[in-house]
Amino acid sequence: MPNAKVLEAKQAAVAALSAKIADSVAGVIVDYSGTSVADDTVLRKELREAGIDYSVVKNTLLGRAIEGTDLEEIKGVLEGTTAIAISKDDHTAAARILKKFADAHENFKIKAGYLDGKAISVETVDSLAKLPTRDVLLATVLGAFQAPMASFARAVQAIVDKNGEGEAVAE
C-alpha cells in the first residue's frame, strides 16, 4: 500500500494531466523507445517552438487521466514507453511534427491521438499530418474569396481601357 504522500502526488499528477488534455484541441501519443538523447532534444525544441507541450508519461497515469472521458478507448495502446504531445490551439502541428520525426526514425512510433476530445486512429493522425498549417489554409481561403473580386476588377478595367481607346480614335 503506497503511503499517503506518494498517493497524493500521483493523484495531483493525474489531475494535472487530465486538465491539460481537457484544455487542448489535439494530442498525439507516441512510443519513443530507441530515440537518442540528441534526436529527442531536437524534437522537443521543434515541438516547444510550435507551442506544443511534450512529455513522457506513465501509462497508468495517462490511463487514469482519460478514464471516464471520450478518450478512454486510447487505453488499448498504453504499453511500453509513452509520451504525449498536447496542443492547446493548433489542431495539426503535433501530428505534422511527430509524423515527420517518425518517418525519419524507425523506432519512433505514433500510437494514437485525439482531436477535440475524441480519440482518433493512427491513420487519422497521418491524415492530419498531411494538412497544411493554419496560416497556409487561411491564405488559401482568402485567395479563394479574393479571386472573383480580382477577376471582376480586371474585367471592369478592360472595359475602361477599351472605351478609353475607342473615344480617342473617334475624335
Reading phi first (left if > 0) and then psi (alpha if -120 to 50, else beta), residue 79 is in: beta
Q: Label residue 1 exposed, middle or buried (CB < 10 Å: 0-12, 13-18, 19+).
A: exposed
Q: Name which residue leads in pLDDT, 102 or 171.
A: 102
Q: C-alpha cell of 30?
A: 507516441
Looking at residue 98, its amino acid is L
Give the per-residue SS3 of 27-72. EEEEECCCCCHHHHHHHHHHHHHCCEEEEECCHHHHHHHCCCCCCH
Q: Characterize 35-63 residue by residue with b for buried, 16 or more Cβ atoms within 10 angstroms of its Cβ, and e for exposed.
A: beeebbeebeebbeebebebeebeeebbb
Per-residue model confidence as pLDDT tens digits over 44-78 = 999 999 999 999 999 999 999 998 888 888 888 89
What angle, rounded to 10 degrees, do the helices at 37-49 and 93-104 form?
Answer: 160
pTM for the model stands at 0.73
pLDDT band at residue 97 under the 50/70/90 scheme = very high
CB atoms within 10 A of CB 20: 16
Place of cell 522537443: 44
More confident residue, 163 or 160: 160
